Amino acid sequence: MKHIVILGGGTAGSMMANHLYKKLPRDKHKITVLSEDEFHYYQPGFLFIPFDLYKEKDILKPAKSCIASGVNFIQTKVEGIDAKSNFVVIRGGEKITYDLLIIATGARVNASETEGMDDPEVWRKTVFDFYTPNGAIALREALKNFNGGNLVVHITDMPIKCPVAPLEFAFLADWWLHKKGIRNKTEITFVTPLSGAFTKPTAAHELGYLIQKKNIHMIPDFAISQVAPGKIHSYNKKEVPYDLLVTIPLNMGVPLIEDSGLGDELNYVPTDPGTLRSKKHENIFVIGDATDLHTSKAGSVAHFEADILTENIIRKLEGKDLLSEYDGHSNCFVETGYGKAISLDFNYVQEPVHGSYPLPFLGPLSLLKETRINHWGKLAFRWVYWNMLVKAVPMPVGAKMPLAGKKIPPATHH
């Protein structure tokens, strides 16, 4: 009996458990999921909570309910990984041995990594995040009492979960402030360590145009050194004043990865970009936000990776060569306010371009174009997430990024 242990019961861990449970012979394989979290959160929904568009009940389910009943789910803290001896240590010191280990421990925000950010004088008083349930709820209460001033949306450093979410927040804030009647009393400033609005040039141009259109002031190349009451400071002595700071703290992998000697300087696991196997250990695989791959840390990435990784886990168990087939495929919606959104689709080598998705030339989603259908697609995705994605129900979208239907300039067509 081969034992497959999955660390993490979030998006990536749940999908892998359900995929493998469906495809592996149950008399020959045992699957165990170890997760400290009681609840599974629909993380894209955090964005909507501050604007009172979603309630907490809309974005969470018991973690165990998201995993097939035949999978062994243990809610516990994993305290160590011994990759040489093939076991993990859980709370209480118990050792759980494995034949294959899948690391799906995700990423976390770390406000303490930036001087002054989590100071009790400002944290959750004038400085807020929305990448956590408590942060999003606290920000909702702060916005209810906000009557204008300097609203600053800030990214500490890359990579972050869902790279477009900070921009989405700025766009939704513009809409929400207009709706509240205080947009003319509010200066929205978008502060980023990047040189543009996004990591890819074409999308950065399109999103940059929207920033200007919505009268949002952008400050690029801002390397934050300190958060102080009413101001953020950069290493090259720039200052940005704020009345309300919405920040995305430094994103890092979990301390377990560092403590076990498996991570890089941000606690992400060095991962083969095509096979999704650990670069250091042949029987350890990595998925989702826990990897160090140069693609978005987003749910769609975990979904596409899961298709490839499931096949490779089966091949590994059968003694076959792994397939190097993951191409970095990622897609996402960018909510722009006023009932519209943009859709992006890209991979390791192909940046987002105009076109249609998922059906070539038919859509219904328009890439890099602001439409109401894209907005409805984003809202519909919550149902798709709970009922199909997490449950590993076959989806009509392949893991590899399709080129058909995309308006790709010859110079960028790889």
User: Could you report the per-residue pLDDT of 339-371, keeping only the tens digit for each?
Assistant: 999 999 999 999 989 999 888 877 799 999 999
Residue 387 pLDDT > 80, yes or no? Answer: yes
Q: Give the DSSP per-residue string, 144-163.
A: HT--SEEEEEEE-SS--BST
Are 150 and 208 part of one and the same domain? yes
Q: Are residues 29 and 141 in the same domain?
A: no
Residues 224 and 261 occupy one common structural domain: no
Same domain, 162 and 272: no
Please give the helix or strand (H or E) that residue 359 lies within, else none.
strand 355-359
pLDDT at 232 over 80: yes
pLDDT of residue 411: 60
Residues listed for the chain: 414
State the average pLDDT over residues 231-237. 96
Which of 151, 127, 155, 129 lies closest to 221, judged by CA? Answer: 155
Is the pLDDT assigned to residue 63 strictly greater than 60? yes
Report yes or no: 280 and 103 within 8 Å, Cβ to Cβ.
no
Nearest CA to 98 among 276, 313, 274, 264?
313
Cβ atoms 398, 323 nearer than 8 A: no
Report yes or no on 374 lying in a domain: yes
**Residues 79, 146 within the same domain:** no
Same domain, 115 and 228: yes
Q: What pLDDT is recorded for position 205?
A: 82
- If phi > 0 it is left, if psi is from -120 to 50 it is alpha, else beta; for residue 149 that is left
CATH of the domain at 275: 3.50.50.60
Tokens coding 109: 């925000």
Beta bridge partners of 298: none
Q: Does any domain span residue 322?
A: no
- 178 and 264 share one domain: no
pLDDT at 285 over 90: yes
Residue entry with tokens 């990591």: 199
Q: How many domains does the chain contain in total?
A: 3
Q: Identify the residue with better confidence: 403 or 116.
A: 116
Q: Which of 247, 271, 303 is the last residue of a domain?
A: 247
**Confidence (pLDDT) at 321:** 97
How far is Cα 105 from Cα 71, in angstroms, rounded to an integer?
A: 18
Q: Could you write out the DSSP letters of every residue in 262-327?
A: ---TTSPBPB-TTT-BBSS-TTEEE-GGGB--SS-BSHHHHHHHHHHHHHHHHHHHTTPPPP----
Return the SS3 of 124. Answer: coil
Mean pLDDT, the chain, whole residue set? 94
Question: What residue numbers bound the domain in which 370 lies?
Answer: 333-412
Query: Range with the lowest mean pLDDT among 106-115, 130-139, 186-195, 351-360?
Result: 351-360
DSSP H or E segment with residue 35:
strand 29-35
65 pLDDT above the threshold of 70:
yes
List Cβ<8 Å contacts ≥24 apart for 86-89: 86/283, 88/5, 88/7, 88/34
Q: Looking at the structure, do residues 6 and 85 belong to the same domain, yes or no?
A: yes
Three-state SS sequence of 236-266? CCCEEECCEEEEECEEEECHHHHHCCCCCCC
Q: Mean pLDDT over residues 155-182, rounded?
A: 96
- Same domain flag for 345 and 291: no
Same domain, residue pair 182 and 264 = no
Tokens of 142: 């702060």
For residues 260 and 376, state if they share a domain. Answer: no
Please give the Cα distance from 243 to 145 (Å, whole number). 12
Q: Which two tokens stand for residue 359?
A: 């059906």
- What percentage of residues in the chain have a pLDDT greater than 70? 99
187 Cβ contact list (under 8 Å, min separation 6)? 149, 150, 151, 217
Please state the φ and ψ torsions of residue 146, each to the nearest 5 degrees: -85, 130
pLDDT digits (tens, 9 = 90+) for 93-122: 999 999 999 999 999 999 999 999 999 999
Is the predicted pLDDT of residue 382 greater than 80, yes or no? yes
* Dihedral-angle region of residue 162 (phi above 0 means left; psi in -120 to 50 means alpha; beta otherwise): left
pLDDT band at 414 (very low <50, low <70, confident <90, very high): very low
Mark which of 292, 317, 342 sits at the end of a domain. Answer: 317
Tell whether the torsion through CA atoms of 291, 295, 296 and 300 is positive or negative. Answer: negative
Do 241 and 124 lie in a common domain? yes
Question: Who's near 17: CB < 8 A, 6+ residues apart?
Answer: 6, 9, 31, 33, 67, 68, 71
The domain boundary residue, chosen from 293, 317, 341: 317
